[in-house]
Amino acid sequence: MTENLANHIRKNPDINLADIAFTLMVGRRNFNHRRMIVCKDAQDLLQKLEAMNDDEVFTRFQKPRVQPVVFMFPGEESKYVNMGRGLYETEPDFRNTVDQCAEILEPLLGLDIRKVLYPGDDKMDYAASKMKEEAIARAAVFVVEYAMANLWIELEIEPACMLGKGVGEYVAACISGVFTLEDALSLVVAGEEEMESRLGGISLNSVKIPFISCVTGSWINEQEVSSSNYWISQRRGNLFYDGLKEVLKDPDQILIEMGPASDLYEIAASSAMMEDTQNQDTKRTILRTLPSMEGKAQDVHLLLGSLGQYWLTGNRVNWNKFYTYEERHRILLPTYPFERQRYWIQPGKRNDEDTQPKLLISKSEEISDSITSSKFEEGVITVTLKQAVGSNGTDLNGDVKKQLESLLKFKEDLVKFCESNEHIKGKVEVSPLGLKLLETDSQSNIGISEQLKRRPRPNLQSDYVPPRNELEKTIVECWQKALGFDRIGIHDDFFELGGHSLIAAAIASELGKVLDVQIPLRKLMETTTVEGIANLIETYRWVSQDTGDEKANEEEIEECTV
């Protein structure tokens, strides 16, 4: 696949690299073999593909999974002018959060924190001087770390727990819901003599996401988090590294340093390396998101590299949200060169004779020596519900649904019994409830037959979330019919379910008929979840009502040929 992609780029030197990445991440299914490169242009990409250096081309075999993520927030000593500037200039979500914090801080500090963080060339000395002031240093580090954390959360990479050093603990507390953003910033810039009065005017809320206390070196509790005295003493807390040891007790975590590079990353990495050396089964992932003041790496390059490393571990990134502010397109790329292997099934008898038991036993007295000395493959016990149906198709046995539910309850009880019985535990397989349809009533069984033919929902990266309204329900039913699954969630990815352009064209046509709205195929291909398509349809409906149907349909529909 790598060589095929390289050849494709050589033949198409003007190809858009961002569209290549978009197509590979959004338009392809996830596999266990993953490879990642960060590059600046096509020539840089080809050079790295040809060299295949391990420090530039990262490869990993890992089944998709969900690992707990730890956000680590450095203290104010890691401050420097221009930290995160590359992200402020290129990432709208990061910039919006910084701007929001700057507006809150301006009346508290009497200046625009952005002029200290990201000054012009002629204001560098002024910014460096201001950054030495304690309140401004704390505010600057808080803003950058809070914006960085929200950038990752927007991509649906959320922390299972957090730890912060110095002002970093305030960032953790704010994300955990203990403080509002306004209250957190008010405390961050307060002098020690002002802390008590400011704490008296704010609400201290319960912890939503657990984090480490710098004061105790362990997980913070509700009594501490609601105490003004705790937050007054927090600035003198020095047990952060004890807390880091507590976090590192769980080897199956990804640690991400949210903010300017500090010794926090180095200590976490060296501690994890020692643990991994003692236990060969663990391989921790520790990432950083910004360089240090002396670091030569560019902000965006380092962030993309860490995001790619996170994806390499088998975890999920919402790439659709990653491209929210970009106009990207799926393009034609080489497909995966699967190695085909042929499996031949030997012909057997066409009837069910071989599947029927050769001998039936009803009681223990019938177990003879000839039976125990014989070789048999398995023992089968069949439980059958006899459903009587009259000539007019009416049910003579009452409510069919209740009967089926009763039989399923019997099946569940049977499974529990088998699991609890030491003589047969692990040796008995209880099959699903099978239904045999009447062939004479084929018309009424059409819907049931289609349902029985559908496959179970595969194991996806997204959790199953059912449709919440009629529009999502209509889209889900259309997807289930086209893709052949018994259920589909509103966050399930169309391409991960095995969809492709021809199926998308059929779905677009069907939705157009059912919902009376024309969706351009290109838009449908770029919106890969039921929830996204529902939002798209609502937008089209709103535009139609606001501007008239003719103007709403002026957008050219991408041509599709089958």
Packing angle between helix 167-176 and helix 134-154, nearest 10 degrees? Answer: 40
The per-residue pLDDT for range 3-24, each reduced to its tens digit, is: 888 888 888 888 888 888 888 8
Q: Whole-number mean pLDDT of the chain? A: 81
pLDDT of residue 28: 64
pLDDT score of 549: 45
CATH topology of domain 470-559: 1.10.1200
- How much of the chain, in percent, has pLDDT values that exceed 90? 36
Q: What is the pLDDT of residues 374-384, one digit of tens each?
A: 666 667 777 66
Q: In angstroms, rounded to a whole number, what is the distance separating the alpha carbons of residues 533 and 508? A: 10
The pLDDT score that the predictor gives to residue 391 is 43
Q: What is the pLDDT of residue 561?
A: 27
Query: What residue segments make up the domains of the chain, in order of their start?
Result: 1-61, 69-314, 470-559
Residue of 261, 112, 233 lying closest to 169 (CA atoms): 233
Bridge partners of 164, per DSSP, are 73
CA distance 258 to 150: 10
CATH H superfamily, domain 69-314 = Malonyl-Coenzyme A Acyl Carrier Protein, domain 2 (3.40.366.10)
**Percentage of the chain surpassing pLDDT 70?**
78
Predicted local distance difference test score (pLDDT) of residue 423: 72
pLDDT at 415: 78
DSSP secondary structure code for residue 326 in this structure: S
Query: Matching CATH topology for 69-314 and 470-559?
Result: no
Q: What is the dihedral of CA 151, 153, 158, 159, to 10 degrees?
A: 50
pLDDT value of residue 552: 40
Cβ atoms of 4 and 337 closer than 8 Å: yes
Give the gyration radius of the chain's Cα atoms: 31
The Cα-based distances of 203 to 52, 101, 193, 509 in angstroms read 54, 19, 19, 53
Nearest to 179 by CA among 113, 225, 115: 225
Q: Token digits for 544?
A: 């139609």
State residue 399's pLDDT score.
67
Kindly report the pTM of this predicted structure.
0.63
Please state, in angstroms and rounded to a whole number, the distance separating the CA atoms of residues 254 and 70.
6
Strands 69-73, 285-288: pairing is unpaired
Ranges of the chain whose pLDDT falls below 50 = 338-340, 349-350, 389-393, 440-449, 548-562
* Ramachandran sector of residue 550 (left: φ over 0; alpha: ψ -120 to 50; beta: rest): alpha
**Pairwise CA distance, residues 500 & 28, whole Å:** 9
Task: Give the type of residue at 347.
Answer: P
